[in-house]
Structure 1
Amino acid sequence: MSRSRGTYDDRQPIWEKRWTERSTDAVVPQCNTRFTGKTTYSTGSKPRSLNAVDVNGDGKLDIIVANYGSNNVGVLLNIGNGSFAAQTTYPAGTGPAFVPAADVDGDGKPDIIVTNYGSKNIGVLLNTGNGTFAAQATYPAGTSPNVVVAVDVNGDGKPDIIVANYGSNNIAVFLGYC
């Protein structure tokens, strides 16, 4: 806490080392970070993880949530000013745990990948446009698939999927193709 020019200032300085000048400066953030009171949105039972990505192409981040207890994935579209529409749900396997998004089919729209912890598989829900998704296509993964990423591991320009299987102590790699 510091006082600056007779006014109270609770912004904490961030120390910065400038190697070229061989000096250390204190940089004070330009705003006092605060948050408004919370706004809650209904999800399914036992929301386990979430992701924020623009699923409908309007330039606003939408929310994807893995509803572990309801065995579905929820999508809450951003309607502006930090507000979200009620979730639209899509069936998943047993115990959806993790929900990254990636354009797995190359159409320029983010698709949802979900680890179905109790079903021993991953599901891919393709984005059909305007923030809606097709039913999941499933792929056997291993026991208790947990964390998943979509990256191009073989350099062919197509996203591949890597999943960590908590219960079988291994990872599974799915190479993408069209």
Structure 2
Amino acid sequence: LYLIGCSTFLNQTTYPVGTGPYSVAVVDVNSDSKPDIVVANYFSNTVSVLLNVGSGNFTTQTNYTVGTGPYSVAVVDMNSDSKPDIVVADYGSSTVSVLLNAGNGTFSAQTSYTVGTGPYSVAVVDVNSDSKPDIVVGNYDSNTVSVLLNAGNGTFNAQTTYTVGTHPFSVAVADVNSDNKSDIVVA
């Protein structure tokens, strides 16, 4: 929906993606200063990337295979090359998939990391103050949160798991107690 004026939107423009789109991120993935669209497709086990060609128009989707049941997507530079990479919480395979950006709007094949059972939500933020983004995942079926610390170059250490309340659906990371350290908030 395109905003015209202060509070009026034009009719929707639709673009095909994979089956069962569950989560979307909008970020410039090919360094052309135009926001692109990345969609996690739950039933087709893919992420779709649609590149912005200007004037609110997008290319046909390019699909990348990820784990089973991708539920949540984040797009952040994971390997310090100034190119945003794709991170996906894969509910059905209990993994997170990381797809590194080749720099022109294309991505490498996924690298998967094991997390708790049934991950729903993923957040990417530096939790250990080493200036590298880490992965935090809310695992709905195992009532846990997994933290995967960034080992550098887009690879991650094995998860550390923390028990939380029943069926964590969403995770966020912020310094909630003003001690200059990242805290995890779970719903």
Q: TM-score, normalised by structure 1?
A: 0.81
Match of 1:133, as an amino acid?
A: F
CA shift for structure 1 position 177: 1.7
Match of 1:110, as an amino acid?
A: P
Given the alignment of the two structures, is residue 127 of structure 1 paired with residue 101 of structure 2, yes or no?
yes
Q: Which residue is 2:77 aligned to? A: 103
Q: Which residue is 2:163 aligned to? A: none
In 2, Cα distance between the equivalents of 1:142 and 1:82? Answer: 38
In 2, Cα distance between the equivalents of 1:48 and 1:84? Answer: 19
Percent same amino acid at aligned positions? 53
CA shift for structure 1 position 149: 0.7
- Provide, for residues 41-89 of structure 1, a one-character-per-residue CA deviation record: whole Å limited to 9, x for no partner: 0011110110000000000100000011111000000111111111100
Count of aligned pairs between the two proteins: 148
Given the alignment of the two structures, is residue 48 of structure 1 paired with residue 22 of structure 2, yes or no?
yes
Match of 1:74, as an amino acid?
A: S
Q: Give unmatched runs, 5+ long, in structure 1.
A: 1-30
Q: Give unmatched runs, 5+ long, in structure 2.
A: 153-187
How much is the aligned-residue C-alpha RMSD, in angstroms?
0.8
CA shift for structure 1 position 32: 3.5
Q: Which residue is 1:64 aligned to? A: 38
Question: How do 1:1-178 and structure 2 match up within 5 A?
Answer: 31-178=5-152
Q: Which 4+ residue blocks in structure 1 deviate beyond 6 angstroms?
A: none
In 1, Cα distance between the equivalents of 2:63 and 2:46? Answer: 6
Q: TM-score, normalised by structure 2?
A: 0.78
